C-alpha cells in the first residue's frame, strides 16, 4: 500500500516548479525571515557590530541557539537594538535611531556598523536610509544598511543573499582588479550552524583534499571573519561551498562583479560526490586531475565502497528521512552510489520551494532520482518500512524496531571529502554488522 | 542610576515566547501567530521544552497593506480541522498590531466550538515575561467559571519556564502545604481547558515570584474577590518557612500545631543535611568552597533566594549579584534589600545582555549561578563551576526531579552546588 503511494522526485520537483501544488508554509528552524538571514551573515564578522532599528524582541529572540544547547559564536556576540517602544511606533523612531547609531559608533570605533530594520520600522516608515545619508562622510562610510522587515515576505534566503550582495559590493569598492593571475587558490564557504570541533575537522579535510589536486585554500568564510579577509577573498581563483543554499548570493555577485567563478556541484558527501566535486573545481581552473584515481587513498576508498556495496546487496531499498535540501539530495546520491534504491520520506515542499535552485540543478539538470513517499506521519512511514524487504534507513532517530537504522548524525560527524566518505562507509558497515538491540534506550516504539 | 543608554542588547525576548509558554502548558492547545515567518521562532522556542502545535498566518507585504483577516480565518479553520485542538491561542505580532487587524471580529464570525483566545505578542507591547502574565490573565478572564466561594483550594501561580525545576517546585510546594492540611494546585502546569475554568474557585492566590502572576492575582481579586499574597521564591530555610507561614496566616490557620510542624520540618532538613555530610565533616570542602569567587545572575527573586541561603544559612559568601532587570528608581529598595542580606556583595541591576557578558568576561568567577548565557560568556580557558538556576538550561538533562524550592529542593541544590564545585577544583 505504501509504495503505491510514492511519486518520482523529478515529477514532484516539476510540479512545484509549475506551481501545481498548494503548498502551505512550514515551521523550519533554519528558514525564518529576511531579518534572520541577514543577521546570520553579518554575525560572522568580528569587525562588524549590528544595530537593529526596531523593537528589542527580534534581536533577543535571535539568541535562540543557546536555548537549544548549541555553542554558536553568533550567540555569544553582543548586538544592539534601538529597543523601540509603543511611543516610538506612534511618533517615529528616527531620532532614537540616530542617537543609538552615534552611541554604537562611539563605543566601537574600530568596527563598521551594520544597520538592519525589523517589521515595525519598515511599516511605520522611518527613513533610516535618509538618516544614514545625513551623516558626515567619515561616519557614513562605516555604515552598511539593509532593509530587512520580515513582513515584506522576504525569506531567510533573500536575507542572506542580499547581505552577501552588499558585502560583495563592498569588496569591489576596495578597488581590486578583476584581472588576476591564476594562483590555484580557493575560497571556501562552510555550512551553517555547526559545532566548532566538527567544523574545524571539515575545513581541515577540505584543505587536505584540495591539496591532493595541487590547490590551496585562500580564505574560509567562517565565524570570526573580518573585512580584511573579505577583501582577500578577491584574490582567489574559484569559490566553493559546503552549503549552496547559503552562499549563492555572494557567489553570484563575486562572479558578476569580480569575475571569480564558483563551483556549484553539490556537497562532497560520499566518494562519488567528492570525486565529482574535485573534478568540477579542476575543470573550472582548466586542470587535468585524472591522475588522482591512482592515488592509493582513493583506490582504497573505492575498494571499501565495493565491499560495502556487496554487503548491502543490489537494489535494496534505502528509506531517507532527513532535512529537505542539499543534505537530503546528498543522501539520495549516497544511497544510489551504494547500489540502493532511495525512497524519500517526510519531504517538506515549502522548503523545497525555498531551496528550489538546488533541486532544479540536481534533479532536473543533474538527473538525481528517487521515489518520494509524501507522508510526514510516523505511523504511515513505519507502515511503508514494514512493507519493504529489509531496507536500510537513513534517519537520526530510531523509530523502526528491528530494522537497520543508520543514525549517523551529520551535524556531529565529519561528512565531507575523502575522510568523510571513509567515516560514513565505516559507520554504515558497522550498522549493517551490528544486530538490532530491542533493549536500546533510543528505540521508539 | 546607571549611565543613560540609547540602545541595548536586550535579555527580554518578545511576548510571543511568553504567551506560547503558557499555551504549551495546556493539553491539546494550538498556537497561531498572526505575523510573518520570523515571528514563529519564539513559539518554536517555547515548544522546545513542551509539546505545542504551531502555525502562522504567513503575513507578507500584501497582508500588511490590505489586512490579513482572511488569512486568520483560514488558519484557524485549518488548525481546527487538522489538529483537533481543545483551544487555540492566537498571538498577534508587532506587524499585525500596527496594522490593526480586527482579530476578535474574525473569531466571533467563525463560530467554532472551542475557545479561541487572542493575546498580544508584539515586542513593543509585551516581552516574554509580560506576555506570560498577560496570557495567564486573559485565559482566566475568558474561560473562568463562577467562583465556588466554599472552595478552600490555594492557587500557586508559578514562574512558568523560569528555570528547569519550576514544575517540580510546584509539585513539592503542593505536597508541603498538604502536610498542613491545605489543598493546593499549581496553575498553568500541564493542565487542560477545564482545569482553567475552575481556577476562580479558590480561597487564595499565592505569587511565588514577583515577576510572574501579579496581573492574574489582581484580576482574580477584582473579579472574583480572591485574596492574594506574594512570597519570595521559597528556596532556602527561611524563604520556605516564610512561604508556609504566609499561606497559613492568609488562610487564618496559624496555630501552635502548625508552628510545631514548621519547626519539625526545619529540624528534619537540618538533620538530613548533617547525615548527608557524614560523621567526619572535617574533610568536607565547605571552607574551600567559601573561598571561591561567586556570582549569581538571575531575576530578582532567584537572586535574593540564593543569596540569602548561601550567605545567611550556608555560611558562604557571594562576590556579585546581577539582577536581570533595568535599574530604575523603583528598584532602589530591592537593591537595599539585597545589601541587607549581604553588605559585601556587589549588586548590579541591568537588562543589557552585553553588560552581563562584559562583566563576566572581565571578572574571573570560580562559581556561576545563572543560565547557559552566563556559562557561554565565561566559557574559555578558566575553570569554573556552573549551576543552572535560570532559563535557558539546555546544557543539562534531567530525568529526575530537579527543583530547588522547599526543603527537599534545598538538599538537591546543596548537592548540585557542592558536587559541581568539588569536581571542578583540586582542593
- Rounded to a whole number of angstroms, the distance from the CA of A26 to the nearest CA of chain B is 8
Residues of A in contact with B48 (CB under 8 A): 67-68
Of B42, B93, B395, the CB nearest to A69: B395
Instruction: Tell me which of A23 and A178 has the higher pLDDT.
Output: A23
Closest Cα in chain A to B127? A57
Confidence check: pLDDT of A101 > 50: yes
Q: Which three cell numbers stand for residue A39?
A: 543577521
CA separation, residue A92 to residues A55, A87, A124, A127, B268 (Å): 12, 8, 7, 9, 60
Instruction: Tell me which of B98 and B367 has the higher pLDDT.
Output: B367
A315: left (phi over 0), alpha (psi -120 to 50) or beta: left
Closest Cα in chain B to A26? B55
Of A32, A84, A103, the CB nearest to B5: A103
Confidence check: pLDDT of B2 > 50: no
Q: Which three cell numbers stand for residue A270?
A: 560520499
- Rounded to a whole number of angstroms, the distance from the CA of B54 to the nearest CA of chain A is 8
Which residues are paired to B184 by β-bridges? B154
- Rounded to a whole number of angstroms, the distance from the CA of A122 to the nearest CA of chain B is 9
Confidence check: pLDDT of B293 > 60: yes
Q: What is the mean pLDDT of residues A328-345?
A: 96
Q: Which three cell numbers stand for residue A237?
A: 581563483
* E strand or H helix that includes residue B336: helix B332-341
Interface subset of B 369-408, CB within 8 angstroms of A: 372-373, 376-377, 379, 391-392, 394-395
Closest Cα in chain B to A72? B376
Cβ distance of B6 and A103 shorter than 8 Å: yes
Q: What is the mean pLDDT of residues A120-149?
A: 92
Confidence check: pLDDT of B192 > 50: yes
> Residue A1's pLDDT is what?
46
CA separation, residue A13 to residues A244, A318, A321, B16, B419 (Å): 18, 20, 17, 35, 56
Which residues are paired to B352 by β-bridges? B10
Name residue, grid cell 531620532.
A95
Name residue, grid cell 506521519.
A377
What is the band of A178 on the pLDDT scale with cuts at 50, 70, 90? low
pLDDT one-digit tens code per residue, B241-284:
999 999 999 999 999 999 999 999 999 999 999 999 988 778 89
Q: Which three cell numbers stand for residue B94?
A: 508587532
Contact B295, B226 (CB under 8 A): no
Cβ distance of B7 and A69 shorter than 8 Å: no
Count CA within 13 A, CB hemisphere, residue A257: 21
The alpha carbon of residue A228 and the mean position of all alpha carbons in its chain are separated, in whole angstroms, by: 23
> Residue A267's pLDDT is what?
87
Q: Which of B59, B10, B253 is nearest to B154 (CA)?
A: B253
How far apart are alpha carbons B224 and B155 in whole angstroms?
Answer: 13
Q: Which of B79, B102, B93, B74 is nearest to B29 (CA)?
A: B79
Of B41, B64, B376, the CB nearest to A61: B41
Q: Which of the listed ranges A14-18, A39-43, A149-153 does the model predict with the highest average pLDDT?
A: A14-18
Confidence check: pLDDT of A72 > 70: no
Q: Is B40 on the interface with A (CB under 8 A)?
A: yes
The reply to whether the predicted model has a pTM over 0.90 is yes
Of B6, B94, B99, the CB nearest to A55: B94
How far apart are alpha carbons B380 and A57 in whole angstroms?
Answer: 28
Q: What is the mean pLDDT of residues B41-60?
A: 90
Cβ distance of B38 and A36 shorter than 8 Å: yes
Q: What is the mean pLDDT of residues B385-400?
A: 93
CA angle A149, A150, A152 (to 5 degrees): 80
Cβ distance of A123 and B98 shorter than 8 Å: yes
Confidence check: pLDDT of B1 > 50: no
Tell me if residue B184 falls in helix, strand or coil: strand
How far apart are alpha carbons B354 and B8 in whole angstroms?
Answer: 7
Spell out the residues 6+ positions from residue B362 whose beta carbon is closer than 8 angstroms to its own.
none
Cβ distance of A27 and B40 shorter than 8 Å: yes
How far apart are alpha carbons B318 and A437 in whole angstroms?
Answer: 49
| A–B CB contacts, 8 A cutoff, strictly below | 170
> Residue B3's pLDDT is what?
56
Cis bond upstream, residue B392 (ω within 30): yes
> At residue A372, what are phi and psi to the nearest 5 degrees?
-120, 125
Interface subset of B 345-364, CB within 8 angstroms of A: 353-354, 357-358
Residues of A in contact with B95 (CB under 8 A): 119-120, 123, 149-151
How far apart are alpha carbons A387 and A379 in whole angstroms?
Answer: 12
Task: Choose from B94, B127, B392 for mutation: most chain A CBs within 10 A.
Answer: B94
Cβ distance of B55 and A96 shorter than 8 Å: no
What is the band of B417 on the pLDDT scale with cuts at 50, 70, 90? very high
> Residue A392's pLDDT is what?
97
Q: Which of A196, A227, A202 is nearest to A217 (CA)?
A: A202
Cβ distance of A66 and B42 shorter than 8 Å: no
Q: Which of the listed ranges A109-123, A206-220, A248-262 does the model predict with the highest average pLDDT?
A: A206-220
Residues of B in contact with A156 (CB under 8 A): 37
> Residue A175's pLDDT is what?
54
Q: How far apart are the first and last CA of chain B?
A: 41
ipTM above 0.90, yes or no: no
pLDDT one-digit tens code per residue, B296-324:
999 999 999 999 999 999 999 999 999 99
Confidence check: pLDDT of B200 > 70: yes
Instruction: Tell me which of A123 and B62 has the higher pLDDT.
Output: A123
Lowest mean pLDDT among A235-249, A292-306, B118-132, B161-175: A235-249
Residues of A in contact with B377 (CB under 8 A): 76
What is the band of A130 on the pLDDT scale with cuts at 50, 70, 90? very high
What is the band of A31 on the pLDDT scale with cuts at 50, 70, 90? low
pLDDT one-digit tens code per residue, B323-373:
999 888 878 899 999 999 999 999 999 999 999 999 999 999 999 999 999
How far apart are alpha carbons A12 and A1 in whole angstroms?
Answer: 20
Amino acid at each position: 500500500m505504501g509504495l503505491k503511494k510514492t511519486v518520482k522526485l523529478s515529477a514532484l520537483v516539476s510540479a512545484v516548479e509549475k506551481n501545481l501544488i498548494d503548498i502551505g508554509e512550514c515551521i523550519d528552524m533554519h528558514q525564518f525571515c529576511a531579518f534572520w538571514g541577514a543577521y546570520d551573515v553579518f554575525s560572522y564578522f568580528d569587525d562588524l557590530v549590528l544595530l537593529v532599528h526596531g523593537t528589542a524582541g527580534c534581536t533577543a529572540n535571535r539568541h535562540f541557539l543557546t536555548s537549544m544547547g548549541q555553542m554558536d559564536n553568533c550567540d555569544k556576540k553582543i548586538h544592539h537594538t534601538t529597543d523601540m517602544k509603543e511611543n516610538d511606533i506612534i511618533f517615529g523612531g528616527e531620532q532614537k535611531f540616530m542617537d543609538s547609531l552615534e552611541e554604537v559608533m562611539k563605543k566601537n570605533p574600530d568596527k563598521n556598523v551594520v544597520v538592519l530594520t525589523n517589521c515595525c520600522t519598515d511599516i511605520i516608515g522611518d527613513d533610516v536610509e535618509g538618516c544614514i545619508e545625513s551623516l558626515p562622510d567619515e561616519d557614513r562610510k562605516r555604515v552598511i544598511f539593509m532593509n530587512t522587515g520580515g513582513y515584506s515576505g522576504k525569506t531567510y534566503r533573500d536575507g542572506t543573499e542580499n547581505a552577501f550582495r552588499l558585502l560583495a559590493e563592498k569588496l569591489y569598492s576596495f578597488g581590486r582588479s578583476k584581472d588576476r593571475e591564476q594562483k590555484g587558490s580557493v575560497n571556501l564557504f562552510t555550512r551553517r550552524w555547526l559545532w566548532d570541533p566538527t567544523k574545524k575537522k571539515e575545513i581541515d579535510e577540505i584543505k587536505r583534499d584540495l591539496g591532493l589536486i595541487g590547490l590551496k585554500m585562500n580564505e574560509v568564510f567562517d565565524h570570526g571573519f573580518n573585512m580584511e579577509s573579505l577583501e582577500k577573498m578577491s584574490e582567489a581563483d574559484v569559490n566553493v561551498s559546503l552549503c549552496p543554499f547559503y552562499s549563492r548570493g555572494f557567489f553570484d555577485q563575486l562572479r558578476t562583479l569580480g569575475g571569480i567563478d564558483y563551483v556549484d556541484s553539490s556537497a562532497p558527501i560520499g566518494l562519488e560526490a567528492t570525486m565529482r566535486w574535485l573534478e568540477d573545481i579542476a575543470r573550472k581552473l582548466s586542470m587535468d586531475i585524472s591522475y588522482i584515481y591512482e592515488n592509493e587513498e582513493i583506490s582504497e576508498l573505492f575498494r571499501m565502497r565495493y565491499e560495502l556495496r556487496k554487503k548491502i546487496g543490489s537494489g535494496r531499498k534505502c528509506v531517507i528521512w532527513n532535512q529537505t535540501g542539499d543534505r537530503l539530495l546528498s543522501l539520495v546520491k549516497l544511497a544510489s552510489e551504494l547500489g540502493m534504491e532511495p525512497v524519500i520520506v517526510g519531504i517538506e515542499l515549502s522548503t523545497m520551494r525555498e531551496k528550489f535552485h538546488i533541486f532544479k540543478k540536481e534533479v532536473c539538470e543533474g538527473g538525481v532520482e528517487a521515489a518520494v513517499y509524501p507522508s510526514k506521519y510516523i505511523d504511515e512511514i513505519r507502515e511503508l518500512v514494514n512493507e519493504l524487504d529489509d531496507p536500510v534507513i537513513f534517519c537520526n532517530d530510531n523509530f523502526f524496531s528491528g530494522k537497520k537504522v543508520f543514525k549517523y548524525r551529520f551535524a556531529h560527524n565529519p561528512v565531507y571529502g575523502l575522510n568523510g566518505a571513509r567515516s560514513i562507509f565505516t559507520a554504515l558497515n558497522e550498522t549493517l554488522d551490528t544486530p538490532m538491540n530491542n533493549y536500546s534506550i533510543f528505540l521508539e516504539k | 542610576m546607571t549611565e543613560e543608554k540609547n540602545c541595548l542588547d536586550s535579555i527580554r525576548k518578545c511576548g510571543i515566547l511568553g504567551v506560547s509558554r503558557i499555551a504549551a502548558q495546556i493539553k491539546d492547545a494550538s498556537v497561531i501567530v498572526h505575523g510573518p515567518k520570523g515571528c514563529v521562532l519564539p513559539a518554536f522556542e517555547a515548544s522546545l521544552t513542551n509539546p505545542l502545535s504551531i502555525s502562522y498566518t504567513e503575513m507578507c507585504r500584501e497582508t500588511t497593506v490590505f489586512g490579513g483577516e482572511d488569512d486568520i480565518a483560514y488558519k484557524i479553520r485549518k488548525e481546527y480541522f487538522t489538529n483537533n485542538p481543545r483551544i487555540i491561542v492566537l498571538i498577534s505580532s508587532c506587524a499585525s498590531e500596527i496594522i490593526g487587524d480586527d482579530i476578535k471580529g474574525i473569531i466571533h464570525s467563525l463560530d467554532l466550538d472551542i475557545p479561541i483566545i487572542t493575546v498580544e505578542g508584539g515586542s513593543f507591547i509585551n516581552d516574554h515575561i509580560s506576555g506570560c502574565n498577560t496570557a495567564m490573565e486573559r485565559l482566566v478572564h475568558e474561560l473562568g467559571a463562577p467562583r465556588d466561594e466554599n472552595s478552600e483550594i490555594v492557587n500557586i501561580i508559578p514562574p512558568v519556564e523560569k528555570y528547569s525545576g519550576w514544575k517540580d517546585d510546584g509539585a513539592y510546594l503542593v505536597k508541603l502545604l498538604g502536610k498542613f492540611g491545605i489543598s493546593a494546585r499549581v496553575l498553568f502546569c500541564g493542565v487542560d481547558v477545564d482545569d482553567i475554568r475552575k481556577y476562580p474557585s479558590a480561597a487564595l492566590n499565592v505569587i511565588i515570584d514577583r515577576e510572574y502572576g501579579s496581573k492574574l492575582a489582581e484580576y482574580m481579586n477584582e473579579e472574583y474577590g480572591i485574596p492574594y499574597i506574594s512570597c519570595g521564591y521559597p528556596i532556602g530555610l527561611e524563604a520556605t518557612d516564610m512561604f508556609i507561614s504566609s499561606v497559613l496566616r492568609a488562610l487564618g490557620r496559624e496555630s501552635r500545631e502548625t508552628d510545631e510542624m514548621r519547626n519539625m520540618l526545619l529540624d528534619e532538613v537540618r538533620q538530613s543535611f548533617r547525615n548527608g555530610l557524614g560523621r567526619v565533616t572535617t574533610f568536607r570542602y565547605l571552607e574551600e568552597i567559601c573561598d571561591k569567587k561567586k556570582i549569581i545572575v538571575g531575576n530578582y527573586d532567584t537572586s535574593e533566594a540564593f543569596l540569602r541561603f548561601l550567605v545567611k544559612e550556608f555560611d558562604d559568601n557571594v562576590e556579585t549579584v546581577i539582577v536581570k532587570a533595568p535599574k530604575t528608581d523603583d528598584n532602589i529598595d530591592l537593591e537595599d534589600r539585597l545589601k541587607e542580606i549581604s553588605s559585601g556583595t556587589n549588586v548590579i541591576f541591568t537588562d543589557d545582555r552585553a553588560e552581563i557578558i562584559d562583566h563576566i568576561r572581565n571578572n574571573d568567577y570560580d562559581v556561576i549561578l545563572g543560565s547557559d548565557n552566563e556559562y557561554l560568556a565565561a566559557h574559555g580557558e578558566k575553570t569554573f563551576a556552573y549551576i543552572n538556576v535560570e532559563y535557558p538550561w539546555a546544557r543539562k538533562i534531567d530525568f529526575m526531579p530537579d527543583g530547588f524550592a522547599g526543603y527537599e529542593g534545598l538538599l538537591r541544590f546543596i548537592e548540585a552546588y557542592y558536587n559541581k564545585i568539588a569536581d571542578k577544583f583540586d582542593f
